C-alpha cells in the first residue's frame, strides 16, 4: 500500500508517494488551469461609429426648387404651360413620362387630350379631356393646353 504526503515549498508544492518498499517517488504536479479565452479583436473606431444622419430635407424648398427648374426648362419650349393644375376632366392618369415637355407631347399626340398636368416632385403626368377650371394656386403642379384647346369653346 502506498502512502502520500505533501511538501510545500514557497513556490512549489510537491506530491510525494511512498511505495510499500519505502521508496520515494515524485508524482506529477497538477495540470495548470487552462488559459483564459482571447477576447475578439475590437472593430476599428470608424466601423463601429454610426454614420451621421442625413441632413434634414426641407420638402417645401425641394418642391419650389423642382418647380422653378421645370418652369425654366419650359421657357423656350414653345409649348403652352403655366403654374397650377387643371381641375376635373380626368382622361389618363400617371402617364409614363418624366418631364413636363414629355407630358405636353403625350397630350398633343393623343386626340382626346386637351390639357395636361405635371407634378414637379413625383414626375406624374395626367391628361385631361376637359376641365371645369384652372387652379393656379397649386404650387407643385405645372399644366398646359394642347393645340386643340380653344379658350372659350364649350368643352364636353
Say how many CA atoms lie within 13 Å of 66 toward its Cβ. 20
Output the nine-digit C-alpha cell for 89.
376632366
Query: The pTM is what?
Result: 0.59
Three-state secondary-structure class, residue 31: coil
CA-to-CA dists, residue 18 to 8, 24, 25, 115, 143, angstroms = 16, 5, 7, 112, 109
What are 18-61's pLDDT values in tens digits?
Answer: 545 555 555 667 888 888 888 888 776 655 557 777 778 777 77
Measured over the CA atoms of residue 93, residue 86, residue 116 and residue 67, the dihedral's sign is negative
Give pLDDT, residue 24.
54
86 forms beta bridges with 134
Residue 117 has pLDDT above 80, yes or no: yes
Give pLDDT, residue 12.
46
Give pLDDT, residue 141.
92
Amino acid at each position: 500500500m502506498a502512502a502520500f504526503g505533501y511538501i510545500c515549498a514557497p513556490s512549489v508544492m510537491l506530491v510525494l508517494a511512498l511505495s510499500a518498499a519505502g521508496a520515494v517517488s515524485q508524482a506529477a504536479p497538477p495540470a495548470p488551469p487552462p488559459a483564459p479565452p482571447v477576447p475578439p479583436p475590437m472593430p476599428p473606431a470608424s466601423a463601429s461609429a454610426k454614420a451621421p444622419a442625413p441632413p434634414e430635407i426641407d420638402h417645401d424648398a425641394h418642391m419650389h426648387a423642382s418647380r422653378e427648374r421645370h418652369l425654366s426648362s419650359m421657357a423656350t419650349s414653345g409649348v403652352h404651360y403655366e403654374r397650377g393644375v387643371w381641375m376635373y376632366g380626368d382622361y389618363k392618369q400617371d402617364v409614363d413620362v418624366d418631364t413636363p415637355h414629355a407630358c405636353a407631347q403625350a397630350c398633343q399626340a393623343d386626340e382626346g387630350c386637351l390639357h395636361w398636368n405635371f407634378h414637379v416632385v413625383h414626375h406624374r403626368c395626367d391628361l385631361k379631356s376637359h376641365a371645369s377650371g384652372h387652379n393656379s394656386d397649386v404650387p407643385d403642379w405645372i399644366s398646359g393646353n394642347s393645340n386643340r384647346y380653344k379658350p372659350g369653346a364649350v368643352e364636353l
